[in-house]
């Protein structure tokens, strides 16, 4: 069994011991599964190209279903990344490799496991992560990373690389569009085995050509979140 498989197995083994990444109680809180593929005919280019309209669409879905959050996106092909030039290279990137949790700006974000701040950055291009934090963890002797994208800018103004954080520590908040890459407020949560020398950033969207590489290096974040099975 390779390190990637060992990591997935260890995360599954300890899944019930992880702190919630966002406030959520499965016994009482509802989640609505967001579909951002081309199969969703409600989601027009007019909506996704306008951050205000996009935010209203997501908020209405959450309200209509009585949910606390909208959630989804791992291994999901999303055409709406065409809204940003950073995803429109010679080989377009459209495959999302994290899980997005959509909710109100200011929603707190917690460390699911103790670790050390690896790096952080304000990735301020249109469509990028905005305020981003990456944390290094170890489990069963295996090192891996968690990435938190679209945070509040204040969250990265008072931290330092190498700083230790404890399980359950409040480490961030959902950022506003002006500080989160111009997206509706949400958290992009991603697991990474090998950072490939990156600091403060790591691709959260890949091309179909690179699908196998990134899905192997970035295992399903629900191994930590333990939320997708409650989404309807």
Alpha carbons 41 and 33: distance in angstroms, whole number: 15
Closest among 120, 125, 126 to 151, alpha carbons compared = 120
Does pTM surpass 0.75?
yes
Q: What pLDDT digit, counting tens, does each position of 44-66 carry?
A: 999 999 999 999 999 999 999 99
What is the predicted pLDDT for the residue at 3?
Answer: 58
What is the predicted pLDDT for the residue at 227?
Answer: 97
Alpha carbons 132 and 149: distance in angstroms, whole number: 5
What is the predicted pLDDT for the residue at 89?
Answer: 84
Domain that holds residue 194: 3-230
What is the predicted pLDDT for the residue at 158?
Answer: 92
- Number of domains the chain contains: 1
What is the predicted pLDDT for the residue at 191?
Answer: 98
Quickly list DSSP for 77-123: E-GGGGGSGGG-SSS---EE-SEEEE--TT-EEE-SS-EEEEEEEEE
User: Which residue stretches of the chain have pLDDT < 70?
Assistant: 1-4
Closest among 166, 177, 167 to 58, alpha carbons compared = 177
Q: What is the CATH number of the domain that holds 80?
A: 2.70.70.10
């Amino acid at each position: 069994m390779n390190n990637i498989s060992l990591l997935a197995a260890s995360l599954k083994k300890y899944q019930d011991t992880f702190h919630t990444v966002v406030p959520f109680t499965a016994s009482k809180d509802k989640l609505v599964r967001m579909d951002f593929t081309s199969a969703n005919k409600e989601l027009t280019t007019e909506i996704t190209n306008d951050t205000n309209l996009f935010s209203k669409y997501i908020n209405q879905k959450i309200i209509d279903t009585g949910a606390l959050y909208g959630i989804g996106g791992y291994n999901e092909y999303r055409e709406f990344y065409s809204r940003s030039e950073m995803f429109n290279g010679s080989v377009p990137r459209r495959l999302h490799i994290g899980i997005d949790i959509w909710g109100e700006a200011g929603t707190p974000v917690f460390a699911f496991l103790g670790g050390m701040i690896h790096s952080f950055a304000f990735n301020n291009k249109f469509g990028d992560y905005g305020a981003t934090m990456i944390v290094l963890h170890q489990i069963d002797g295996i090192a891996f990373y968690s990435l938190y994208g679209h945070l509040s800018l204040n969250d990265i103004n008072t931290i330092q690389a190498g700083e230790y954080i404890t399980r359950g520590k409040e480490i961030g908040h959902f950022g506003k569009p002006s500080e989160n890459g111009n997206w509706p407020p949400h958290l992009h949560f991603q697991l990474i085995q090998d950072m490939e020398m990156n600091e403060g950033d790591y691709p959260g969207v890949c091309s179909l050509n690179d699908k196998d590489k990134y899905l192997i290096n970035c295992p399903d974040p629900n191994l930590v979140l333990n939320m997708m099975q409650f989404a309807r």
